[in-house]
Amino acid sequence: MGSFSLDARQGAHDERLDPGAGLLEAQTVEKVLFEALRNGGDFAEVYAEDKRGSSAVFEDGKVAELSSGIDIGAGIRVVAGETTGFAHVSDLSEASLIDAARAASAVAKMGGSGSKVLAAVGDTPLGVHRVSKLPARGEKHAKVELLVRADAKARQEGAAIRQVVVSYADSRRRFLVASSDGVFATDDRVRTRFGVSCVALGDSGFQTSYETVGRTAGFELFDDVSVEEIARVAARRAIAKLSARPAPRGVTAVVLASGSGGILFHEACGHGLEADHIAKDSSVFTGRIGEQVASPLVTLVDDGALDGEWGTCAVDDEGHPAQRNVLIHDGVLCDYMWDRLRASKDRRKSSGNGRRQSYRHLPMVRMTNTYVMPGVEDPDEVVAQTPKGIYVRKLGGGQVNTVTGDFVFGMTEAYLIENGMIADPIRDANLIGNGPEVLKKVDVVASDFAVEPGTCGKDGQMVPVGCGQPTLRVSELTIGGTSGE
């Protein structure tokens, strides 16, 4: 399965990925789609996938985990009226695929009538990723060496560091998706991720910190990224938190460092702009296209084609080209994110946001790389123009109610701002607010920009996403701290 060839345009060491090779023959796809719609239906889809990956964990001075895996299979979807039938199989034989098509059809066949069959003649000529070094071709000892180097660097940062866990993971996901709508597309996604978690011990007890990097890229990631720097950041952050003051409580100005607050906009605003929430009237943004929903300084974008980021793809998991979708422009709500199912009901095109965790799952509307566009202010001036407040360098996890927009997020690295300067670190605490209100209270946006990798959960499915923003200030946010200062 898979193939390898040199691409002269990229140089002798570049590997051009061939996403379609070896998955399914065009004739097999035609047979499966025909069987799926033979008893009636409005739409049928075949999604075949070959995913391979490896991971390693270094803990307590030794390799605690070193594993690899392969997952191959296909999912068949049949839509008839308002009914969707879905079946999946763990092999790509023609007999198994036809059995799955019949099973999906049996669920959906009461929902409509009519038949359309794709003439599958070849791959749609879409862009493919190029990587310099496929992780699967790398030696295990090279991956372990990265872990050892990062562990050593973290421990060198101080005797207070008592525990270090270093992790590495890579994956290659090749898939083919074909449908009765005429889609016949492939993608080949290579992702590599590296992270360091540290625990420091001091008079205030244990403090933890982590730092990660992840890209849609191969092992060449480490030509540009220093694992020692990742370890240094994680260790120093944990040590700094040992002397942290209790976080204040109450309403104050909050400056979010570049990249750090992307998860806030992803959760507090992005989910509410997914078309399934709009269709269910379970979003605060329902029916508000054309309205001023944010500060004029805010332009919010979802971009699956953003080069090299964690949520990047050539096509979405329904075969539609990844694209840049402007959701909010200068504070005005422009559009939502769409998959094939919701778009067809509204007689419009998919925005390239149909995503699924694997062949075992139905696609749904999901974000890719979601970010706030940079402004014009100097990042340092954003802090200097804030007499008093909180500077957040890193946010942790959080949760949001898409119906109301209310959210809670943890701050894992934050500092007081006093007289326009970053002062003492503060202990972990929560940011509490409302997504639409935060959008309106963004009053300064800097010119820097960064995207961080994350994993988004929705309806039991997990997918990789990028979250980003420039340094910016929210004029008022509630801090759920313990100090009354």
DSSP codes, 288-307: -TTSB-S-TT--EEEETTST
Check pLDDT > 70 for residue 301: yes
Q: Which domains are present in the chain?
A: 8-242 (3.30.2290.10), 249-480 (no CATH)
Read off the pLDDT of each residue in 273-278 and give the average, rounded to a whole number. 96
Tokens of 348: 């419009």
pLDDT at 454 over 70: yes
Residue 313, pLDDT above cutoff 90? yes
Q: Alpha-carbon distance 258 to 194, whole Å? A: 20
What pLDDT digit, counting tens, does each position of 402-419 carry? 889 899 999 999 999 999
Beta strands in 180-298 (DSSP E): 184-202, 205-215, 249-256
Mean pLDDT of the chain: 89
Tens-digit pLDDT profile for residues 13-51: 344 455 555 799 999 999 999 999 998 899 999 999 999
Whether the predicted pLDDT of 113 surpasses 80: no
- So what's the pLDDT on residue 140? 83
Beta bridge partners of 58: 63, 166
The answer to whether the beta carbons of residues 444 and 417 sit under 8 Å apart is no
The band of 111, judged by pLDDT with boundaries at 50, 70 and 90, is low
User: How far is the C-alpha of 164 from the C-alpha of 365, rounded, in Å?
Assistant: 37
Does 3 have pLDDT greater than 50? no
Band of the pLDDT at 143, cuts 50, 70, 90?
A: very high
| Selection from 258, 468, 471, 221 nearest residue 367 by Cα | 468
Q: Does residue 459 come out as left (phi exceeding 0), alpha (psi in the -120 to 50 range) or beta?
A: left
- Here the tokens at position 353 are 């946001």
How confident is the model over 71-77, as a mean pLDDT? Answer: 96
pLDDT: which is higher, 74 or 121? 74
Whether the predicted pLDDT of 218 surpasses 90: yes
pLDDT at 260: 83
**Which two tokens mark 106?**
């049996």
Contact 281, 460 (CB under 8 A): no
pLDDT confidence of residue 138: 64
Contact 218, 190 (CB under 8 A): yes
- Convert the pLDDT of each residue in 169-189 to its tens digit: 999 999 999 999 999 999 999
What band does 204 get if pLDDT is binned at 50, 70 and 90?
confident
Q: Is the pLDDT of residue 6 over 60?
A: no
Q: What is the pLDDT of residue 21?
A: 53
pLDDT at 297 over 70: yes
Mean pLDDT of the region 298-321? 96
In angstroms, rounded to a whole number, what is the distance separating the alpha carbons of residues 381 and 378?
5
Specify the 3-state DSSP secondary structure of 139.
coil
The predicted pLDDT at position 12 comes to 30
Residue owning tokens 């080949």: 188
Mean pLDDT, residues 73-95 taken together: 94
